[in-house]
């Protein structure tokens, strides 16, 4: 409900600059992909986006610390962040849906299951298996082997679950004003995030160097990389966000009760964590 | 034919509603073009959305006229088939993503804060970002027409592998443009939900909100739920095209039908995204000009929610002939038919609102009434298409084209025009020229039926869609459709003229511009000052 003190910002130059930067990045990406040139435009676009985000957040932080925001504004941010995370959930749902569809329907049908049987006529010798090591057409080389879930993936699972716990400890410490504890546990969380990213890097190297799991390796490689890849990007973004929160903690930002920026970062990190658990189960274990 | 405007009540000064107008801590806005580039004001951003949408409506319309000119008579005469394909594709993409959706977002920007008594949108800077992504996105999309190999030519549904293995090089740019538009939609929808849930005037409960606000709340939920799925599926396309993945390639274990499932999981809620706000507009206009409260307010809300939830369970009715298992054909057939129930509730409520009302026929009401009748025709042909065995014959014929144009043109677009005529007095302080608006209405309704009604017959007789040539027996129907299309297109110039004249002058409108209008927006002066409801109004529950 309105309180009458809702802060409506005056005009701002960041949004329109942000859309120009995003446009530059997209156009650059297109030129790079289609004509194999134009990398500078991509970099300009990315730099522009990062700069705009930094300056935009700086404005929001200074307005917040200047006491311009009230409880109602706080709720707007909460709804905004909550629905943003829901949109992210649906983004991953598309990729999980693709994985489930391929495993439940497409591959069994190619192998001759079901009443339709038409797709089974295309490659009569195809044997439906998962993980799909031998794609239907011999022109596409499948993976040589797949990862055991109980090695690096398990380590990464433990790292991310631990990081969610350490982040919660940091948040609880912030709530009671124990900033030193908060800083230490948050530092630990950021480091765990970095560990995850490095291990994932090692796994990607192994995938290409020794396992034959590549983007071109049929549907297994495609689903593997799109799911773990977008998750990895989200971990990188989440780690950067938490690092920014760490800087703000060190600079003395955030009150005991008024710290939604921190809390939103926690929401985001927990979301990334939950997605990984889904990945671990459906991409690696099952 | 042109009734007099209803007697106007004296100008109301609602002091709680219009606290200290322009002042209140705002520096003078920047001048000239910068004002529009940097604005965070919901009314200015709403106007930007509406102007953008109208521009794109004409660009998409010109593409449609290229198609209709080619189809005027059998044989190939005006354009190459390759270019014809680009025109059908671009017409669909521009109308869906750049005309209809931004028009509704523009109306939401203008009207939701006014209807719930909020000072602005919840996140005004994000609002500006959402808008300015659109010109970037659609400049990029339109520029694909000039690229080597031409623009997208695979239909607005861009089915793989036609859009991956066999597509022009510009497809990558098309995908990236659509990503930008998707980001814009998601951020806009988040903003609208946060505004509705958090910014209502004290005392206004959810079940007190005007139906336009309710339908937009549900639409925004649909947008946040399905635009990311679209982003996911076009990302998979991008990977298949550029990185050698085989999501939609059976040779690698993928499946082209997977594309269709993912696309229509987005696509079906998408068509309700384009119609639910229209329901809201019509639900505001009909009570106003019938001078009766809306019949069955609560059932309208529940019906809207039911349509939205069902929209997630019906997507494969677009894919009946693709080779689905029988159980899927049955499930999607029956779930699709179920949608007729809540939609029927809505039509029943509109008709019952009219029953024994003191009806007058100003231009917003004419468009709203035409909406009810013609949208219902589109609904019935949809019901025919829902029957799986019948759809085996109708699929990819002009019957489908007739169906979705009936729900989109005299459906969504008539509702947008009704909304524009209804709220123009609030935006500009002047009534639109009623005579001009009525001419626009009658020309439009003749044009729309002349264009799309013959398509039913051509389709039932077997004319396939998206083909630049056709057999001789379809010539008469196509001739009528083409004449109607040019007539309809030309008559939209009257709309532009009416809007321009109304912005520049006209009969002064009081705060409550229409005698029977009850919602909060009619308590602020006309034109609405740049900043409204900086002190929240006290909401008095009336009747629902």
DSSP states of A215-263: TTSHHHHHHHHHHHHHHHHHHHHHHHHHHHHHHHHHTT---SS--HHHH
User: Which tens digit of pLDDT belongs to each residue from B84-95?
Assistant: 999 999 999 999
B177 vs B172: CA distance, rounded Å:
9
> B194: which chain A residues are within 8 Å (Cβ-Cβ)?
76, 79-80, 83
| Interface contact flag, A106 B254, Cβ < 8 Å | yes
pLDDT at B236 over 70: yes
pLDDT of residue A59: 95
Of B43, B179, B200, B268, which one is the catalytic site residue? Answer: B268
Closest CA relative to residue B224, chosen from B279, B156, B174, B270? B270
pLDDT of residue B21: 39
A80: nearest CB among B133, B190, B245? B190
> A29: which chain B residues are within 8 Å (Cβ-Cβ)?
176
Model confidence at B245, in pLDDT bands (50, 70, 90)? Answer: very high
Of B261, B291, B465, B466, which one is the catalytic site residue? Answer: B465
A–B interface: beta-carbon pairs under 8 A? 241
pLDDT at B159 over 90: yes
What is the CB-side half-sphere exposure of residue B444 using CA atoms within 13 A?
26
* pTM across the whole model: 0.94
The CATH number covering residue B50 comes to: 1.20.210.10
pLDDT at B17 over 90: no
Minimum distance, in Å, between the CA of residue A184 and any CA atom of chain B: 33
**Residue B504 domain boundaries:** 40-124+142-151+274-522
Task: Tell me if residue B343 is catalytic.
Answer: yes
Task: Tell me if residue B120 is catalytic.
Answer: yes
Of B39, B88, B336, B343, which one is the catalytic site residue? Answer: B343
B485: tokens are 């299309």
User: Which tens digit of pLDDT belongs to each residue from B272-310?
Assistant: 999 999 999 999 999 999 999 999 999 999 999 999 999
B376 vs B351: CA distance, rounded Å:
12
pLDDT at A143 over 50: yes
- State chain B's mean pLDDT as an integer: 93
B301 vs B211: CA distance, rounded Å:
7
Is residue A41 within 8 Å of A48, Cβ to Cβ? no
- State chain A's mean pLDDT as an integer: 94
Task: Tell me if residue B130 is catalytic.
Answer: no
| Interface contact flag, B200 A1, Cβ < 8 Å | yes
pLDDT of residue A4: 67
Task: Tell me if residue B264 is catalytic.
Answer: no
Model confidence at B432, in pLDDT bands (50, 70, 90)? Answer: very high
Q: Which long-range contacts (CB under 8 A, 24 or more apart) does A41-47 make?
A: A45/A21, A46/A21, A47/A21
Of B39, B195, B283, B523, which one is the catalytic site residue? Answer: B283
pLDDT of residue A5: 77
| Interface contact flag, A26 B179, Cβ < 8 Å | yes
B167 vs B153: CA distance, rounded Å:
7
Residue B527 lies in a domain: no
User: Which tens digit of pLDDT belongs to each residue from A22-36?
Assistant: 999 999 999 999 999
Residue B114 lies in a domain: yes
> B180: which chain A residues are within 8 Å (Cβ-Cβ)?
19, 22-23, 26
pLDDT at A214 over 90: yes
List the single range of B16-25, B150-159, B378-387 with lowest mean pLDDT: B16-25
How far separated are the first and last CA of chain B, in Å rounded? 32
pLDDT of residue A121: 82
A103 vs A39: CA distance, rounded Å:
37
Minimum distance, in Å, between the CA of residue B227 and any CA atom of chain A: 8
Q: What secondary structure does DSSP assign to B314-346, as a single string?
A: -GGGG-GGG---HHHHHHHHHHHHHTHHHHHHH
| Interface contact flag, A88 B27, Cβ < 8 Å | no
B512 vs B8: CA distance, rounded Å:
8
pLDDT at B544 over 70: no
| Interface contact flag, B536 A4, Cβ < 8 Å | yes
Residue B472 lies in a domain: yes
Residue B437 lies in a domain: yes
Q: What percent of chain B is predicted at pLDDT more than 90?
A: 92
> A71: which chain B residues are within 8 Å (Cβ-Cβ)?
none
Closest CA relative to residue B456, chosen from B389, B386, B387, B404? B404
Is residue B514 within 8 Å of B365, Cβ to Cβ? no
| Interface contact flag, A102 B180, Cβ < 8 Å | no
Residue B511 lies in a domain: yes
Residue B166 lies in a domain: no
Of B70, B120, B240, B519, which one is the catalytic site residue? Answer: B120
Task: Tell me if residue B255 is catalytic.
Answer: no
A148 vs A131: CA distance, rounded Å:
12
User: Which tens digit of pLDDT belongs to each residue from B31-51?
Assistant: 889 999 999 999 999 999 999
| Interface contact flag, A19 B132, Cβ < 8 Å | yes
List the single range of A108-117, B20-29, B137-146 with lowest mean pLDDT: B20-29
Number of residues assigned to chain A: 286
Residue B101 lies in a domain: yes
Minimum distance, in Å, between the CA of residue B388 and any CA atom of chain A: 17
Is residue B89 within 8 Å of B172, Cβ to Cβ? no
pLDDT of residue A116: 60
Domains of chain A: 12-68 (1.10.287), 69-285 (1.20.120.80)
Model confidence at A115, in pLDDT bands (50, 70, 90)? Answer: low
Minimum distance, in Å, between the CA of residue A215 and any CA atom of chain B: 5
**Sequence-separated (6 or more) residues with CB below 8 Å from residue B516:** B6, B287, B288, B289, B290, B291, B292
Number of domains, chain B = 1
pLDDT at A21 over 60: yes
B105: tokens are 């977002």
Model confidence at B10, in pLDDT bands (50, 70, 90)? Answer: very low
CB burial of residue B465 (10 Å; 0-12, 13-18, 19+): middle
Residue B31 lies in a domain: no
Alpha helix (H) ranges present in B11-123?
32-38, 42-70, 81-93, 101-116
pLDDT of residue B507: 95
| Interface contact flag, A6 B123, Cβ < 8 Å | no
pLDDT of residue B16: 39
User: Which tens digit of pLDDT belongs to each residue from A117-128?
Assistant: 677 788 988 999
| Interface contact flag, A87 B190, Cβ < 8 Å | yes
Minimum distance, in Å, between the CA of residue A73 and any CA atom of chain B: 8
């Amino acid at each position: 409900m309105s309180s009458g003190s809702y802060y409506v910002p005056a005009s701002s130059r960041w949004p329109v600059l942000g859309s120009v930067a995003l446009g530059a990045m997209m156009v650059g990406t297109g030129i790079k992909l289609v004509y194999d040139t134009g990398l500078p435009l991509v970099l300009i676009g990315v730099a522009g986006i990062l700069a705009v985000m930094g300056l935009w957040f700086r404005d929001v932080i200074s307005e917040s610390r200047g006491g311009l925001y009230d409880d109602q504004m706080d709720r707007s941010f909460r709804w905004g962040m909550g629905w943003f995370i829901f949109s992210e959930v649906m983004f991953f749902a598309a990729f999980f849906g693709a994985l489930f569809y391929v495993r439940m329907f497409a591959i069994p049908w190619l192998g001759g299951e079901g009443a339709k049987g038409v797709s089974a006529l295309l490659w009569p010798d195809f044997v439906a298996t998962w993980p799909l090591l031998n794609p239907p057409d011999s022109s596409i080389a499948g993976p040589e082997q797949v990862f055991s879930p109980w090695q690096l993936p398990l380590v990464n699972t433990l790292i991310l679950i631990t990081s969610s716990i350490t982040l919660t400890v940091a948040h609880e410490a912030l709530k009671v004003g124990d900033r030193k504890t908060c800083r230490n546990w948050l530092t630990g969380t950021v480091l765990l995030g970095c560990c995850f990213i490095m291990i994932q890097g090692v796994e990607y190297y192994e995938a290409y160097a020794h396992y034959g799991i590549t983007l071109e390796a049929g549907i297994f490689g495609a689903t593997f990389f799109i799911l773990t890849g977008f998750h990895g990007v989200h971990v990188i973004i989440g780690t950067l966000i938490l690092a920014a929160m760490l800087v703000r903690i060190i600079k003395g930002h955030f009150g005991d009760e008024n710290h939604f920026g921190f809390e939103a970062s926690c929401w985001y990190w927990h979301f990334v964590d939950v997605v990984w658990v889904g990945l671990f189960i459906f991409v690696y274990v099952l | 034919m042109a009734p007099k405007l209803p007697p106007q009540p004296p100008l109301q000064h609602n002091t709680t509603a219009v606290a200290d107008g322009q002042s209140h801590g705002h520096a003078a806005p920047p001048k000239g073009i910068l004002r529009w580039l940097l604005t965070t004001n919901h009314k200015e951003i709403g106007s930007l959305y509406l102007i953008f949408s109208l521009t794109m409506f004409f660009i998409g319309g010109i593409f449609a006229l290229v198609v209709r000119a080619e189809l005027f008579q059998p044989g190939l005469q005006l354009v190459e088939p390759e270019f014809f394909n680009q025109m059908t594709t671009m017409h669909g993409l521009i109308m869906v993503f750049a005309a209809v959706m931004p028009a509704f977002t523009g109306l939401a920007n203008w009207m939701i804060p006014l209807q719930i008594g909020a000072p602005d949108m919840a996140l005004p800077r994000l609002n500006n970002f959402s808008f300015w992504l659109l010109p970037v996105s659609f400049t990029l999309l339109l520029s694909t027409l000039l690229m080597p190999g031409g623009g997208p030519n695979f239909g607005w549904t861009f089915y793989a592998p036609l859009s991956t293995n066999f597509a022009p090089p510009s497809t990558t740019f098309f995908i990236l443009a659509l990503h930008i538009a998707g980001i814009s939609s998601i951020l806009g929808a988040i903003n609208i939900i946060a505004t509705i849930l958090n910014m209502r005037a004290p005392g206004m409960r959810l079940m007190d909100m005007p139906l336009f606000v309710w339908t937009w709340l549900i639409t925004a939920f649909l947008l946040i739920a399905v635009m990311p799925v679209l982003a996911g599926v076009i990302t998979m396309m991008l990977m298949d095209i550029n990185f050698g993945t085989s999501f939609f390639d059976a040779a690698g274990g993928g499946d082209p039908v997977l594309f269709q499932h993912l696309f229509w999981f987005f696509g079906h809620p998408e068509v309700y995204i384009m119609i639910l706000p229209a329901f809201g507009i019509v639900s505001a206009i009909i009570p106003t000009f019938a001078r009766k409260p809306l019949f069955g307010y609560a059932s309208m809300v529940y019906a809207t929610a039911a349509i939205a939830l069902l929209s997630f369970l019906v997507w494969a009715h677009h894919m009946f002939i693709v080779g689905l298992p029988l159980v899927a054909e049955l499930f999607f057939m029956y779930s699709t038919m179920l949608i007729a129930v809540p939609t029927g509730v809505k039509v029943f409520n509109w008709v019952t609102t009219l029953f024994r009302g003191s009806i007058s026929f100003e231009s917003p009401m004419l468009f709203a009434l035409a909406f009810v009748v013609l949208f219902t025709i589109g609904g019935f042909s949809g019901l025919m298409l829902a029957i799986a065995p019948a759809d085996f014959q109708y699929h990819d014929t002009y019957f489908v084209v007739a169906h979705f144009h009936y729900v989109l043109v005299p459906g969504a677009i008539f509702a947008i025009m009704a909304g524009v005529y209804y709220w123009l007095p609030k935006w500009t302080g002047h009534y639109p020229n009623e005579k001009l608006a009525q001419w626009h209405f009658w020309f439009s309704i003749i044009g729309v039926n002349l264009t799309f009604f013959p398509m039913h017959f051509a389709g039932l007789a077997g004319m396939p869609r998206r083909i630049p040539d056709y057999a001789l027996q379809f010539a008469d129907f196509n001739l009528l459709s083409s004449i109607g299309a040019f007539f309809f297109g030309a008559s939209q110039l009257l709309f532009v003229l009416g809007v321009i004249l109304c912005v520049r002058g006209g009969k002064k409108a009081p705060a409550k511009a229409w005698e029977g209008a009850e919602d909060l927006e009619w308590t602020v002066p006309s034109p609405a000052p740049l900043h409204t409801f900086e002190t929240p109004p006290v909401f008095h529950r009336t009747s629902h």
